[in-house]
Structure 1
Amino acid sequence: MLPQIKDALKKLEDKELEKKYLQLITTLLEKGYFPGLEGVPVAKSSISNIDGDKGLLTFRGYPVQELAKHGSYEEICFLLLKGDLPLLEERIELTEDLLDHKELDDSIAETIVSMDDDLHPMHMLSSSILQLQSADAGCFNVENYQHNLNRAVQLIAKFPTILGTYRKQDPNFAEGETFDSLARYILYCFNEELAKQEKWINIFEQLLILHVDHTMNNSTFSVRAVGSSKASIYASIATAVNSLSGPLHGGANERVIKMLEEIGDPENVEAYLEEKINNKEKIMGIGHRVYQTYDPRALYLKENIIPRIFNEQSDVDPELDNLYQIAKKLEKTALDKFADKDIYPNVDFWSGLVMRAMDIEPKYFTTIFALGRVIGWTSHWVENMEVKNKIYRPKQLYDGFNTRHIIREEK
């Protein structure tokens, strides 16, 4: 059968598509299903695109590097939600709209403060998003595009407030403060002093933009799958947060720092890497499912942000500098060992160091990822409501007992 399929596929003009279809069909013939739905198209979207061979990530056609270098958080928010970059007055209006809707209802803020201190911030975040549903009685009506768009903006605005309220254990932590951008406000939620410095606001804003969207990743798939049942935006985005919390998704940046601390010294890198390879264990921050070259977001961090932190500052904390030296040695060693296998550092490899340099606690690293990605999640949710997509209902292959019956002995 496969030779006939190959002949049929050769008629396709798009040779890249021919290659992808052949891979899918071969997997189906060999295994009977698609593990993890890898490579299986489940939706059409115009929000972002990846060329894994070229190391290219675009948002609405714009390369992510250009958007990070020249854009603002509000501009990228407008771009993803509405389809193009805003005019000046549109950007100003969106900034005002975001800042106007950042406050939480008192009851929700008090509930957040009452949550256990040991609860991981990502799990606090997901449960708090669901609480927002209680203050929005109309959220279950998802048929109105403008209402959906408004809810997306308002939810994006409340994300940092949820985190700031929990982190500072104070519903009024920003009382009396004024902000000229959402990026400044978000950074204020994590580091009040750095939020006064334009350099750090700029670095932080670029970090957020690099994380805004990444096509049909696990958390975005979750948004669209849950949203396909016409669930509210809150239910859909809370699900995405839970997905992102996993160590194979957003949680990897926190684990990269733990890995660097475990290595302890640049001299220990090669032995650590050899042990991981011999034990067939995953090396956090190395490798990616869709890139066969250097992750463009990681490359941007390495070339444009990391130097501003470690090369321009003479007062870098010695402990932090040691982690940086370990990371450099680990990257070089990994590239020497894996480059011929198309395995390169991903965005998590460098992002943890950037957040550590901003004195953000490691347990909050993945929430920073979420603060960028919420723009993409909400954009996918709004888009999915418009395309009238079918409810997600993939098929399983049953691998259990054949039909059997209960047999009881008669007394």
Structure 2
Amino acid sequence: MVTLLDKGYFPGLKGIPIVESKISNIDGEKGILTFRGYPVEELAKHCSYEDVCYLLLKEDLPTEDERTELRKELLKYKDVDINIANSIAHMDRNLHPMYMLSISVLLLQGSDSTSFNIKNQEENIQRAIRLIAKLPTLIGIYRTKDPDFAQGKEFDSFAHYALYCLDEQSAKNQDLVNIFEQLLILHADHTINNSTFSVRAVGSSHASIFASISSAINSLSGPLHGGANEKVISMLEEIKSPENIEAYIESKISEGEKIMGLGHRVYKTYDPRGVYFKKELLPKIFNEDNPFKIDKHLDNLYNIAQGVEEVALKRFGNKGIYPNVDFWSGLILKAMNIEPNYFTTIFALGRIMGWAAHWLENIESKNAIFRPKQLYKGLDIRHIDK
């Protein structure tokens, strides 16, 4: 058997430790995810967005006064410069919102002339908070094409504002705001995944937080990372009916194609975030007593998803392949009338807390600039014939 050491390189750095971190931890065998020691399920159930943001950036949960102060800061700094707002409002409508978000984060650097000075960690934390505050606004401006979006409006919490930026009607329903807040918390961090690696790698050159977060957004846009929940909804719509599930899965297996929303590189059991979606959040939406209407189309997609899960567990459960967080999250977002091409931006609204925490930790730990080594397989030296 040829080992990775025999090959001389490690494709994708799979399983290779590259940093020491205190931010989050995964036990893939037991299906446990913690943020600074707290199980993610407890944080989602008992904490606010502001609590988790404070925990990730400042290493512990806030007092009531500290939570209130952070909430004030996030809502105070949500607005963006009018020139940037106009640029976003006039971006091409065909541009996927994730690429808009990446571009817009870089534009924000134009309003921060000292962003390359990263020596003062307290200033770095404040810069991170102000960037987190503005992320929903970028989405709201682009979605509505209104540079004055949400100007002068009051909001109860940052989660309330974030949902307003995606759908004004859903933001009027406190039950939906609570569900949305829990969804953001569940996405807040996930150790050194592809996008967080991007933050660490770019930040290791002492690039600004804007450049580092922009790179992470681009990473997250891919269907093998954050874009999967959008693809799951497309898959459920392609199946059309619960009666078609078996045939659909068989065709995917026979063609060697990936079934979206199934499996995870780290978890060998059910993703704890997926369990929370399934047991805690989805039942609040898909039941007869819910405070908002679910149309027949969405109810059918939910039934299909349950059927796909049932078939998948029978076919792949013994191989450690289970539905992941992306398998369920799109159904919740669709119930909030959020357009599917904005699903991955919501992932970013949660994950930016973790990205910022990793950027900050990378600076404080004085990690060396990332410089992996390649294994060259090209041609030997050759010369131009004259």
Give the TM-score taking structure 1 as reference length.
0.92
The reply to whether residue 282 of structure 1 matches residue 258 of structure 2 is yes
Q: Give the corresponding residue for 1:58.
A: 34
**Which residues of 2 match residues 62-211 of structure 1 at below 5 A?**
62-211=38-187
Q: Helix, strand or coil for the counterpart of 1:189?
A: helix
**Which residues of 2 match residues 289-328 of structure 1 at below 5 A?**
289-311=265-287, 312-313=289-290, 315-328=293-306
Amino acid of the structure 2 residue aligned with 1:33: Y
Instruction: From the CA coordinates, give the structure whose radius of gyration is larger.
Output: 1
Query: 2 CA distance for matches of 1:392 and 1:384?
Result: 11
Kept in 2, the 8 Å contact 1:53–1:293? The answer is yes
The reply to whether residue 272 of structure 1 matches residue 248 of structure 2 is yes
Q: Any gaps of 5 or more consecutive residues in structure 2?
A: none
- Tell me whether 173-182 or 198-207 shows the greater mean CA deviation: 173-182
- Tell me whether 302-311 or 172-181 shows the greater mean CA deviation: 172-181
How far the C-alpha of 1:407 sits from its partner, in A, is 1.6
Q: Give the corresponding residue for 2:373.
A: 395
Kept in 1, the 8 Å contact 2:170–2:337? The answer is no
The reply to whether residue 356 of structure 1 matches residue 334 of structure 2 is yes
Correspondence for 2:355 among 377, 380, 398: 377
How far the C-alpha of 1:315 sits from its partner, in A, is 3.7
Query: 2 CA distance for matches of 1:176 and 1:100?
Result: 11
Correspondence for 2:214 among 238, 244, 247: 238
The reply to whether residue 386 of structure 1 matches residue 352 of structure 2 is no
Amino acid of the structure 2 residue aligned with 1:165: I
Amino acid of the structure 2 residue aligned with 1:393: R
Correspondence for 2:314 among 323, 332, 336: 336
Q: Any gaps of 5 or more consecutive residues in structure 1?
A: 3-25
Query: 2 CA distance for matches of 1:194 and 1:354?
Result: 12
Kept in 2, the 8 Å contact 1:224–1:380? The answer is yes
- Tell me whether 308-317 or 113-122 shows the greater mean CA deviation: 308-317
The reply to whether residue 405 of structure 1 matches residue 383 of structure 2 is yes
Query: 1 CA distance for matches of 2:39 and 2:377?
Result: 44
Q: Give the corresponding residue for 1:366.
A: 344
Give the TM-score taking structure 2 as reference length.
0.98
User: What RMSD in Å do the two structures reach over aligned CA positions?
Assistant: 1.1
How far the C-alpha of 1:190 sits from its partner, in A, is 1.2
How far the C-alpha of 1:191 sits from its partner, in A, is 1.5
Q: Give the corresponding residue for 2:23.
A: 47
Query: 2 CA distance for matches of 1:292 and 1:357?
Result: 29
Kept in 2, the 8 Å contact 1:27–1:34? The answer is no
Counting matched residue pairs gives 384
Q: Give the corresponding residue for 1:10.
A: none
How far the C-alpha of 1:32 sits from its partner, in A, is 1.4
Query: 1 CA distance for matches of 2:360 and 2:5?
Result: 36
How far the C-alpha of 1:96 sits from its partner, in A, is 0.4
Query: 1 CA distance for matches of 2:153 and 2:117?
Result: 35
Query: 2 CA distance for matches of 1:406 and 1:339?
Result: 57
Q: Helix, strand or coil for the counterpart of 2:191?
A: coil
Kept in 2, the 8 Å contact 1:288–1:346? The answer is yes
CA deviation string 1:229-259 (max 9, x = no partner): 0000000000000000000000000000000
How far the C-alpha of 1:114 sits from its partner, in A, is 0.9
Kept in 2, the 8 Å contact 1:48–1:58? The answer is yes
Q: Give the corresponding residue for 2:325.
A: 347
CA deviation string 1:202-251 (max 9, x = no partner): 00000000000000000000000000000000000000000000000000
Query: 2 CA distance for matches of 1:151 and 1:321?
Result: 42
How far the C-alpha of 1:175 sits from its partner, in A, is 2.5
Q: Helix, strand or coil for the counterpart of 1:140?
A: coil
Kept in 2, the 8 Å contact 1:285–1:348? The answer is yes
Amino acid of the structure 1 residue aligned with 2:94: D
* Identical amino acids, percent of aligned pairs: 63
Amino acid of the structure 1 residue aligned with 2:67: R
Amino acid of the structure 2 residue aligned with 1:375: M
CA deviation string 1:236-287 (max 9, x = no partner): 0000000000000000000000000000000000000001011111010000
CA deviation string 1:48-93 (max 9, x = no partner): 0000000000000000000000010000000000000000000000
Q: Give the corresponding residue for 1:229.
A: 205
